């Protein structure tokens, strides 16, 4: 059995969601894989469709240039045929520890978000901590709650499932 196929076992951890500041939302989760593997799944275009949707065929990666100044644009088609575009610009990339980017959603055009993703080694595992900084408290509150928690749990469960396939 190769190293890519072995994933240490531990109880499954759900997303820990919080609002640490006046204009911030945050989420953390421990993944059962080393930091390099988690960072690859999180940043490589080949894995993106599986993270963005339960059905990767519903995801169109228009652009994913993971470097400072690079852009991303992902379109997800819903079960009703509606399309939602997620897009932004990468500001800082420090493999395998940090990704900073802007984040916009076509269905919420007035909201501008700065996203900071930190990857930290915890024994054999990796803790991913994401912080979103908004332009206002109202914007922060629009993107918080049970819908965010459900979406993150679903996406990060799919990420966890991909980790055993990454070389």
Spell out the per-residue pLDDT of the chain, length 167, in tens: 334 434 444 445 778 999 999 999 999 999 999 999 999 999 999 999 988 888 899 999 999 999 999 999 999 999 999 999 999 999 999 999 999 999 999 988 888 899 999 999 999 999 999 999 999 999 999 888 888 888 888 888 888 888 988 88
Specify if 4 maps to a domain: no
Specify if 134 maps to a domain: yes
Q: What CATH number is attached to the domain comprising 156? A: 3.30.530.20
Number of domains, the chain: 1
Residue whose C-alpha is closest to residue 151's, from 23, 10, 12, 17: 17
Specify if 7 maps to a domain: no
Specify if 41 maps to a domain: yes
Specify if 167 maps to a domain: no
For 28, the domain range is 15-162
Specify if 96 maps to a domain: yes
Taking the C-alpha atoms of residue 15 and residue 59, their distance in angstroms, rounded to an integer, is 23
Sheet holding 125-134, edge to edge: 16-21, 24-31, 125-134, 113-122, 98-105, 83-94, 71-77, 59-64
Helices (H), 31-94: 35-43, 48-52
pTM score: 0.87
Helices (H), the chain: 35-43, 48-52, 137-142, 146-162
Specify if 10 maps to a domain: no
């Amino acid at each position: 059995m190769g190293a890519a196929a072995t994933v240490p076992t531990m109880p499954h951890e759900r997303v820990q969601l919080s609002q640490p500041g006046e204009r911030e939302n945050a989420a953390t989760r421990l993944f059962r894989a080393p930091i390099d593997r988690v960072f690859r799944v999180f940043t490589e275009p080949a894995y993106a469709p599986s993270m963005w949707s339960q059905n990767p065929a519903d995801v169109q990666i228009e652009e994913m240039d993971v470097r400072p100044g690079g852009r991303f644009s992902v379109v997800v088609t819903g079960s009703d045929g509606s399309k939602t575009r997620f897009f932004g610009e990468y500001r800082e990339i420090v493999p395998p520890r940090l990704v900073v980017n802007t984040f916009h959603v076509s269905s919420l055009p007035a909201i501008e978000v700065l996203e900071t993703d930190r990857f930290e080694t915890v024994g054999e595992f990796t803790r991913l901590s994401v912080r979103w900084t908004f332009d206002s408290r109202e914007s922060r509150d629009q993107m918080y709650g049970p819908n965010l928690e459900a979406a993150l749990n679903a996406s990060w469960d799919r990420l966890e499932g991909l980790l055993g396939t990454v070389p």
